[in-house]
Chain A
Amino acid sequence: MKSGPGSAAIRRADHVAIAQFINKGELVLDVGCGDGQLMELLQSERGARTRGLEVEQAGVNRCVAKGLAVVQGNADADLPVYPDAAYDVAILSKTIQELARPKFVLDELSRIARRVIISFRNYGHWKVRTTLLTTGRIPNLGSSSGWWSDGARRPCTARDMAELAAEAGLTVAAATAVNGKPITGKSLSRLNWTAEELVFVLERTKA
């Protein structure tokens, strides 16, 4: 499950950052929705309609028990069956760095939804860079048992993520540091130094 500890009343900062990009009435697919905290937030505070996809049974059960519409499935395998342009927004909150096939998933989500919003940990942050410089090790890989362990993250930076978006034919239409103000795509290099955690709004690049 992706959701952090604590009750539903404690709102995850990246969820709040994502929510500002959701408009009333939009149909949102939350991929890796955990126990549904983000969907609840988007329904109650943004007036969105939500659907979830979650691999863990416990998370699915909790969502279903709350009355949220959630399908038990795997982002790496189950997205191809979703129809084209069925959603306004698809969200990957702190999920993309844990996927087996991030580009495939991004391709699929941009087919399914008009906008794709991702939140991720930025390994371009200055603390990460200085730690690497001084200790020779990449910090905070999201696993206490070593960078090689199962489910370890893909440590990528804001620039790396922008490169993936471009590869997928997507533009970073807006970006924000979690707990920061949204900016447009131009000043990514600064965000890449200063943001520990980022939200990107991706849209298909206009031909």
Chain B
Amino acid sequence: MQAPARTLSGADGLKHLSVATPDRPLKLDSGRVLEHVEIAYETWGTLNADKSNVVVVCHALTGDQFAASPNPVTRRPEWWPLIVGPGLPVDTDRFFVVCSNVLGGCMGSTGPASLKPDGAYWGTDFPMITIADMARAQIALLERLGITDIFLAIGGSIGGMQVLEWTIQARNRVFAAVPIAVAPRQSAQNIGFYETGRQAIMADPNWRGGRYLDEGVRPDRGLAVARMAAHITYLSETALKRKFDRKLQDREAKTFGFDADFQIESYLRHQGQTFVDRFDANSYLYITRAMDYFDLASEHGGVLANAFRGLETRFCVFSFSSDWHYTPEENRDLVRALNAAGCETSYVSIETDKGHDAFFVEEPEFEAALLGFIDAAAQARGLPKRRDA
């Protein structure tokens, strides 16, 4: 048995379980199989006696399993502090919350930065994965934890895509689902932005055709540029103007050079530089590719509603008005399909200038509606009431 190795020192020590073995390999959409898959995860709260209080939190592109407690490897704080925790919408006093690092990720789960059976790093030999494969691995993880039915699947962005896959694959074993700021298919614009990022990584001389781990280098410059370009799409023009506008960075006048004269440049450079310390470039290639391939309708005879027909899961879809990464219109496409499929569906469109990343930051209307939906679903599921309710 080959234990996967990590480039992020310390990720090996994180909680993880094997979800695929040579006897029970993980079959991927590409047709390839993985015989050794480890999924790293974290949990909060307590599993109740009838296992009816399980919440699966699905993380976004650059996230990890540390939704509600600090990441001991990167020392970054929990990424969803306003949503997951005691007394919060995903109430760890009442629910057993599981968040796992995606297949292909780099925070302890098997991915291109893991070792393959022959002892070399997977690199770009790692098979291409899809969002459905990620959900497959997560479902297998939950089964390893002795859990087949979950109360709630929740996640934003690519996490929302995984939520949708959960409802389809774990058919009627998901009581409630909250896809946030998502799309039923990756848009041409997003494919374009992520392709730009991938090209930046692959153009970095340190990428070495994907074999950089074996050669002991890292394509940090390329990965930072990829992050900078993508990060712009997670914000909004209004928010950029409000926060930065054309303000200069620690200087009185333009320098007539290529230094970071503007605050927005300095901000994006910082985003890029801090990102490379915690993320693997090949993981970035694989996960963004999985997003590009995401198109639920095409997997269901070209009719999106067919993906959801007959589902008893209750859905609540959230979108943010200034999100141009996954637009309100794309979220409404999803809602229309859910309605057409006859699913019990709610849709809340939040007015905000905070863009795609609004679901990470304080957004009282979002938190209030989410709390209400989850509490009502918990009541319908026969789970206890919130302590202060």
**A residues apposed to B, CB below 8 Å:** 51, 57, 60-73, 78, 81-83, 86
Contact = CB atoms under 8 A, between A and B. Distances in A.
Nearest to A29: B339
A149 to B, nearest CB: 24
Given A61-B368, A64-B316, A67-B376, A82 B347 contact: no
A60 B380 contact: no
Contact of B339 (A57, A60, A71): A71
Nearest to A81: B336
Given A71-B335, A82-B340, A61 B369 contact: yes
Contacts of A68: 346, 376
Given A81-B339, A82-B340, A83-B340, A69 B368 contact: no
B245 interface: no
B62 to A, nearest CB: 29
A71 B380 contact: no
Contacts of B376: 64-68
Judged by DSSP, the binding face of A is: mixed
B314 A69 contact: yes
Given A83-B340, A86-B340, A71 B365 contact: no
Contact of A66 (B339, B349, B372): B372
B369 A65 contact: yes
B371 interface: yes
Interface string B357-389: 000000001001101110111011000000000
B348 A61 contact: yes
B342 A65 contact: no
Contacts of B332: 73, 78
B346 A57 contact: no
Q: Which 7 A-B pairs have the closest CB atoms?
A: A65-B372, A67-B376, A81-B336, A71-B347, A61-B369, A83-B340, A69-B344
B373 A67 contact: yes
B312 to A, nearest CB: 12
B59 to A, nearest CB: 24
A66 B380 CA distance: 11
A57 B363 CA distance: 13
Contacts of B372: 61-62, 64-67
Contacts of B368: 61, 65
B345 A61 contact: no
Contacts of A72: 347-349
B350 A63 contact: no
Given A81-B336, A82-B340, A65 B348 contact: no
Given A70-B346, A86-B342, A60 B335 contact: no
15 contacts: A57-B349, A57-B365, A61-B368, A61-B369, A63-B346, A64-B346, A64-B376, A65-B373, A65-B376, A67-B376, A69-B344, A71-B335, A72-B347, A78-B332, A83-B339
Nearest to A72: B349
Contacts of B305: 83
B351 A67 contact: no
Nearest to A52: B346
A108 to B, nearest CB: 13
A82 B340 CA distance: 6
B347 to A, nearest CB: 4
B351 A57 contact: yes
Contacts of A51: 339, 344-345
B304 to A, nearest CB: 11
